[in-house]
Structure 1
């Protein structure tokens, strides 16, 4: 079992991947980078950079990076941009993670999931149920990260467009 000098830092990306692919959680947390030339990653970056241009982008807070940050009527709003709603539950929990981290620091905020290609948005607020679910996810992430090897490859609906597919399936 690997020994870390500190507990793994859990940001929104690890929360997202914990719901998509446990293997990616391990790979990311161990510094294995995805294929930077992957067309789907490039498309995601382009959508993120070219959408909502009048709002502050890529704001770091602790171990997380919010896609958008704005203020509406005195309320802090955190936005998460996704190219589609295909993984909406993972997106909700990623955004809920950001809101939970802010709440732990005494900062009240609300969240917006944004799907510019679908011209759709969804409001997200932190609830006790979401907090409990996130607490379970954090434990799962820590268990995955301290494992000496990545979880076995398991094919799922996301594998086809995954930037790690060559690593897992070659």
Structure 2
């Protein structure tokens, strides 16, 4: 199995290893899950004046804006509850852009909370991402998903049926 790690896998890895395996094996979550729909709506209606959805390779950037001389890429999230996983997802985008010779700044945006968090790609963060890449590959190459482990995110998860039945 040839696998391209993407931002969604990076984000899910820090929350639920089972979800990471399911996503990587192209098992689609319940698209009518209200939390998925809310996330989609926030993404579509927030920061409308900024350029949105820049795609390249395995990266989908929510928005790009100019900040003086700097280019800022942003990731929009409905809540800061999973701030660390969102930070790593955005760091992954910064990492991929750096590989292409593009230096940008990162900004996490939580519109409902009116909260912003700057993200900078440091050498320590790059090392952390590279370890995550290796760990994700180990999980995904397994024949079966990791066992179900109930966590606080389960009640709102679109993969709930794959775990709690």
Residue 81 of structure 2 is matched in structure 1 by 86
Residue 34 of structure 1 is matched in structure 2 by 29
Does 2:92 match 1:111? no
- SS of the aligned residue for 2:106 comes to strand
Output the TM-score relative to the length of structure 2: 0.97
Residue 129 of structure 2 is matched in structure 1 by 134
Within 5 Å, give how 1:13-92 maps onto structure 2: 13-92=8-87
How far off its partner does 1:61 sit? 2.0
The separation in 2 between residues aligned to 1:16 and 1:72, in whole angstroms, is: 26
Residue 146 of structure 1 is matched in structure 2 by 141
- SS of the aligned residue for 1:70 comes to strand
Aligned residues: 165
Q: Write out per-residue CA displacement over residues 97-130 of structure 1, whole angstroms, 9 at most, x where no aligned residue.
A: 1001111111000000000000010111100111
- SS of the aligned residue for 1:76 comes to strand
Output the TM-score relative to the length of structure 1: 0.95
The separation in 2 between residues aligned to 1:44 and 1:104, in whole angstroms, is: 29
Query: Pick from 74, 95, 103: which aligns with 1:100?
Result: 95
Which runs of 5 or more residues in structure 2 are unaligned? none
| Displaced runs of 4 or more, over 6 A | none
C-alpha RMSD of matched pairs (Å):
0.8
